[in-house]
Structure 1
């Protein structure tokens, strides 16, 4: 992993532990990388609009994938943020992405995320490492999804993100225990998934979900462990279907965890922290009826190492917006009033999921 983010942002890992001891890790640096990318895309609306610029970077992305120019760490370190954005959107469709890589790449293996570096060459409009397509017509990578339309559908998610505290907050001062709870609630959400059924997350859950999807192989393994299948994510379900599915998800959540899936935690996202270098490891069972607790350990250069958190797994301390379809399909936008109808400033839905 790159040290670029570690120089300015604290890092802590949340480790999701199975009963057999197997663990899956989601780090705060993964989350920061994702948030910084979203902020950058919002500053450049041409990357979410139909036109030559978007088409150009989609073409470059496909050429790089076909020529195996994104597979290794040193190659990913050189990616422009525009290519990273197109790659990100493709990875938001885990079943399609996996199949596209396995069926079309020379080695038959998915290209996985190897670094946590956010590209700094923001003004580089063209990626000069991509060869002229006229001399490489024999190389081909054609995603099974329409990447232009997939990018355009992300505008709804980005508009909701602009209303969220993570759009403007100081990521160097993140409340550690809140990040733990966000990941915990994301796992609780995944545990509700059933094949051939639609479940809809809140926006905070969706932010963690999108972060996790940036690591395709890790996501695939974790999803199989938690759900028993690969939970797909899509964003094409009609709003009317989405709204009804969210209410059903909220009801299922209430029955399973005796709490509301909607909680207002954004106001507690950022708190002062005296240390900027530490590791926070959290272990939580994913197969018990609830989380049995959290064991916290820290490594620090001194000062206040922060708080250690305990939890009973009711998922009451995280919220956001999104959707999931556990049988293919996905999610679109939703509007409307209160939490139960997927509306409101923070509790809007976005994203999607499904099972294979």
Structure 2
């Protein structure tokens, strides 16, 4: 990328280069040692300073343009992270270059993002030079394939090299672990229109930076990915930011605490005000906002979570060729003691629940007069063939806080966790949640449409949840109640958006279908009340639409269109392939949560039903009871006790 590019040329280049950066982030994600394994990273820094930079300098001196060369992945990664601090990278690279070529004392080492094909060709050329100049140093790092996320021993000193780089690259690598999930798995970042708008916003961000040089401005993730992309081309970055802002714009990613009162939180709110005052438009953008950070502790147990999933799948196959299971409610009201073993982990899926709890405490401290209600239920997944085998169980928690003054509105959080059951062990449950469903803000995702890329894709009447499977964000589900409400039928309307690379590129409708007794034919009977069906529906969807990707939970399942079925009335869950059963179960639970939350209600006294005949009486259906619905055995367990039907208008949960 030439430094003399005009703004329109730079705009076009950045749109394309963002995709190259996302590809690199996805490649690095395959090797978690590149985030936090100090032995791996120290070795990468040694290779970067002692091998790669001398190789580039000698290649340039001999007439080989070093932009045509690409290093191995570990070196590429620490180089890219180093570039994210321009004010440290500039003097560091000048010093490294001059150590090889003493006559060149002001040379900033340039870097270019390459496409996958370009990088393969450039690596092939670099491998030949590497082998001839450094025959005793392997081109590919021996630590990548065997390197764990963290060292077993924090004091390991297998690589004793002391880096001369002034930027703490190793600490910065760990911070970049969070950046991947915010941008690389979301499909809007692969859409040119979304990125084109992001480049426009990045240029506006630089303009604001020029106006407020001493203020720490916090970018949204769409502007940040463009900012990172620009910094990957240091000569162009130095030239452009110096011309626009009068200086090389610094980039500081060391401030990560977003809690109230923290520096980043305060800087974010100041950025919002300055942006609106200057451009007269809001800075937040759908699909570009934070979705929270996965803690290192959670990341470290990801392997155990995946092992528990595989164990469940293999046991199901051994128990018989059954691809359907049933969700049944139990009356267990509190967590077993063995669940305490994982509660010291800061789970991503519990972040919303913790936030609501913290808000309730603060309101109570400051005289907010908060009333709290909580429902916790446990369900068990039963095999249809009746085999006595271990299966899955679910913890469902609703927490609601009603502030008496001034509005009386109810705030609530939804948290569901899926565990593999082990009835042979004394603990009863294997280690950690293998799947989860939790609330997310509507602005954390955006709809994808050819005409209106900025369309949110979710209305205010919809509830939106994230489905996590195997320690990864798997899908987003949105639900709302549709149909007629003045004496007519109502219906739950669901949509789902598969995440991760090669996942769904748009919202897909979860189809309402006839309930089937088995995979072939037959229907469950429907109860009628006043001419209206009051049995919750059966739904079908495909989770194989994204095609096959190595290591992915989603696969193209033998060409099937409907890979997952779940019947809210019977509690039956069916899927076409065993290695998607946990995902199918999590999706079914999410559908049940949607029904419980979105079904219209009316005023009712304790002990009386508070349903209107629109939809099902939740107490009659085990799956709905298990997902937090009304229960016969304890009518006082109501999180949502106030009506949601007013004439023909459906009011969002918590409004009266």
- TM-score over 0.5 for the alignment? yes
Which of structure 1's runs of 4+ aligned residues deviate more than 6 A? 335-338
Unaligned runs of 5+ in 1: 2-13, 18-22, 134-139, 267-318, 323-334, 349-356
CA distance in 2: counterparts of 1:344 and 1:15, whole angstroms: 38
Q: Please state which structure has a larger fraction of its residues in strand.
A: 2
Equivalent residue, structure 2, for 1:85? 77
Give the 5 Å matches for 1:172-321. Answer: 174-175=191-192, 177-193=193-209, 194-239=212-257, 240-264=262-286, 266=287, 319-320=288-289
Give the 5 Å matches for 1:1-356. Answer: 16=7, 24-25=10-11, 26-69=13-56, 73-74=65-66, 76-106=68-98, 107=104, 108-114=106-112, 116-118=114-116, 119-120=119-120, 129=131, 131=134, 132=136, 142-161=164-183, 164-165=186-187, 171=190, 174-175=191-192, 177-193=193-209, 194-239=212-257, 240-264=262-286, 266=287, 319-320=288-289
Relative contact order higher in (CA < 8 Å, ≥ 6 apart): 1
Spell out, residue by residue over 1:38-61, the C-alpha distance to the aligned partner (whole angstroms, 9 max, x if none): 011112111112232222222111
CA distance in 1: counterparts of 2:91 and 2:194, whole angstroms: 35
Equivalent residue, structure 2, for 1:291? none
Q: Pick the structure with greater CA Rg.
A: 2
CA distance in 2: counterparts of 1:115 and 1:207, whole angstroms: 13
TM-score by length of 2: 0.34
Contact 2:70 2:76 in 1 (8 A): no
CA distance in 2: counterparts of 1:242 and 1:114, whole angstroms: 30
Name the SS for the 2:7 alignment partner: strand
TM-score by length of 1: 0.60
Shift of 1:190: 1.0
Unaligned runs of 5+ in 2: 99-103, 138-161, 292-350, 357-439, 446-656
Shift of 1:24: 4.0
Name the SS for the 1:64 alignment partner: helix
CA distance in 2: counterparts of 1:179 and 1:161, whole angstroms: 11
Contact 1:321 1:347 in 2 (8 A): yes
Contact 2:17 2:113 in 1 (8 A): no
Shift of 1:184: 0.6
Mean CA deviation greater in 42-51 or 32-41: 42-51
Spell out, residue by residue over 1:281-307, the C-alpha distance to the aligned partner (whole angstroms, 9 max, x if none): xxxxxxxxxxxxxxxxxxxxxxxxxxx
Spell out, residue by residue over 1:230-280, the C-alpha distance to the aligned partner (whole angstroms, 9 max, x if none): 11112112511101101100111111111111121x4xxxxxxxxxxxxxx
Contact 1:207 1:320 in 2 (8 A): no
Spell out, residue by residue over 1:185-244, the C-alpha distance to the aligned partner (whole angstroms, 9 max, x if none): 001011111322200000010000000000001011111122221111121125111011
Contact 1:205 1:320 in 2 (8 A): no
Contact 2:15 2:196 in 1 (8 A): no
Shift of 1:28: 3.0
CA RMSD of superposed structures (Å): 3.7
CA distance in 2: counterparts of 1:249 and 1:211, whole angstroms: 21
Contact 1:320 1:346 in 2 (8 A): yes
CA distance in 1: counterparts of 2:282 and 2:229, whole angstroms: 23
Distance change in 2, residues 1:234/1:117 (3 Å): same
CA distance in 1: counterparts of 2:290 and 2:441, whole angstroms: 10
Equivalent residue, structure 2, for 1:316? none
